[in-house]
Structure 1
Amino acid sequence: MRFYGSQEAFQAVHHRVLPWLMLWRLALYAALGWYWLKHFKPRLLTRIADDTAQRSAANQRLRRLEILLIIVLAIIEVSNLVNWAGGASA
């Protein structure tokens, strides 16, 4: 905060850059999702397909993990939006 001089100045700058930080995070999530779907997941599914005995269970666990990750990221971003909108004061 020394750089900004006061807590109020820091909060003003922080509030001004919040939309850009949200945009950055969404772009990062999109890039990671694209990499997962196009590069990493097909290789993982190929490995799973080699082991036919565990294929169904592994596919279910992988799907469950993907869904849980999306839910966690959505909860984090919704809480960020609530804080940004001034809904939660600390």
Structure 2
Amino acid sequence: MRQMLIEDEKALRPGIETMRGLLAFYVGADETTSSLMNVSLWLDLDAAKQLDRFQPMLDAGKPYVAKGATFERPIMNHTTLWQLQPPSKN
């Protein structure tokens, strides 16, 4: 499934990149737990909820389900309470 997720980038990236309010989008895999994840950062909740309706993303999930994958639903959206970035080197 890891390879499937890598290949899905071609179909998903163009649409996600053009979505209003996108700040960052990360896709990853944990080899130890055989889990895949997407984490995205958005300007506001309405912008984040665009993924709930993004048909290429919904369609891409079907082959994973056919192979036994499960998805956390509903998609969780968290409000940022604080953030951390490396200190400036100036």
Say which structure is richer in helix. 1
| Superposition TM-score, scaled by structure 1 size | 0.29
Say which structure is richer in strand. 2
Considering only CA atoms, is the larger Rg found in Structure 1 or Structure 2? 1
| Superposition TM-score, scaled by structure 2 size | 0.29
Highest relative contact order (Cα 8 Å, sep 6+), 1 or 2? 2
